[in-house]
């Protein structure tokens, strides 16, 4: 009678090993099935790691990152800008759909085979897809920041009782267009959400015509104590603003008096302006009589300048 114990033992050991391998395979298959239901390891959506997360968890993480407020610095002041205030929205559906395509890029069994051998695919990065309202951002910058934090410049002002002016002051204003570009970059960044708002320096403003009105009245009446009749009319040809006042015996009149004012020597001003414009006549061809007039004018101008220096 043959002894079959060794063969039976070997077969038992083989069956045991096959059973153990089968158990391990089933366990690995279950583990991979759970992993397969989530996004692959290393996957990034809009720069946010979502590997091994499901769709809902990934959406929640994206919202946590991109709904954080953007910090705006206007010098030493800090303003919190909530993305929702400028209608910033993530296009979650399209980004998660792209992530789903990435998850199922390989067939299940091919992915399981790579998992068993420890092979990992190169992690992908789904780009950010979002939108916001530039009009609402511009409105926020103008109404909430520029109006509140800008330092307007001031014009020079006449000093009461003198013909001197007090110097104007410089100011600062927000560069809205440049700010929009910087804030847009911060809204779509998952790391740098701080913006130093760009400012523009403003020189002292041009004195207003009302200041000129005050200075003229102080100069021709208050300081000189002139007791005759004075009429002043000035028109700004660019803005259309005008100054018009009349004094009689050092008293301001509300109604212009019925007094004619002669132009006198004021007609010389436009004549001399026209003449001085023609003094630089090197490139012009003038008639002999015009040439003589221009030479005399230039000689008169030179003598006037020379005599003025001698008097200093």
* pTM of structure: 0.62
d(Cα 69, Cα 80) in Å, to the nearest integer?
6
pLDDT digits (tens, 9 = 90+) for 59-85: 999 999 999 999 999 999 999 999 999
The band of 312, judged by pLDDT with boundaries at 50, 70 and 90, is very low
**Which two three-digit tokens encode residue 259?**
């007094």
pLDDT digits (tens, 9 = 90+) for 97-136: 988 888 777 776 667 676 667 667 667 789 999 999 999 9
Confidence check: pLDDT of 280 > 60: no
Helix (H, G, I), strand (E, B) or coil at 84: helix
44 forms beta bridges with: 49, 125
Confidence check: pLDDT of 1 > 60: no
Highest mean pLDDT among 19-33, 123-137, 281-295: 123-137
pLDDT on residue 267? 76
Confidence check: pLDDT of 54 > 80: yes
Helix (H, G, I), strand (E, B) or coil at 177: helix
DSSP annotation of 267 = G
pLDDT on residue 210? 81
What is the 3 state secondary structure string of 106-120?
Answer: CCHHHHHHHHHCCCC
79 forms beta bridges with: 72
pLDDT on residue 130? 94
| Percentage, residues of the chain above pLDDT 70 | 76
Please, where are the H alpha helices in 195-267? 209-217
């Amino acid at each position: 009678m043959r002894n079959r114990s060794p063969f039976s033992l070997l077969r038992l050991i083989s069956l045991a090993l096959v059973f153990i391998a089968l158990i391990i395979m089933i366990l690995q298959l279950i583990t991979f099935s759970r992993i397969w239901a989530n996004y692959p390891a290393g996957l990034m959506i809009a720069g946010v790691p979502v590997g091994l997360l499901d769709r809902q968890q990934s959406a929640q993480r994206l919202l946590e990152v991109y709904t954080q407020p953007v910090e705006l610095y206007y010098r030493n002041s800090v303003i919190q800008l909530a993305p929702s205030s400028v209608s910033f929205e993530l296009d979650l559906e399209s980004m998660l759909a792209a992530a789903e395509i990435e998850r199922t890029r390989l067939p299940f069994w091919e992915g399981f085979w790579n998992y068993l051998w420890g092979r990992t695919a190169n992690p992908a990065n789904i780009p950010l897809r979002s939108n916001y309202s530039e009009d609402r951002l511009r409105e926020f910058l103008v109404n909430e920041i520029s109006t509140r934090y800008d330092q307007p410049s001031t014009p020079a002002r006449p000093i009461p009782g003198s013909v001197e002016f007090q110097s104007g002051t410089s100011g600062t204003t927000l560069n809205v267009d440049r700010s929009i570009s910087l804030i847009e970059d911060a809204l779509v960044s998952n790391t740098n959400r701080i913006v130093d708002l760009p400012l523009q320096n403003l020189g002292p403003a041009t004195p207003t015509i009302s200041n000129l009105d005050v200075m003229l009245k102080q100069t021709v009446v208050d300081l000189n104590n002139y007791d005759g009749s004075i009429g002043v009319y000035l028109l700004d040809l660019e803005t259309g603003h005008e100054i018009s006042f009349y004094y009689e015996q050092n008293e301001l009149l509300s109604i212009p008096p019925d007094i004619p004012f002669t132009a006198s020597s004021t007609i010389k001003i436009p004549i001399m302006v026209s003449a001085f414009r023609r003094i630089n006549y090197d490139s012009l061809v003038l008639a002999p009589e015009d040439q003589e007039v221009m030479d005399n004018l230039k000689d008169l101008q030179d003598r006037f300048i020379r005599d003025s220096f001698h008097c200093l």
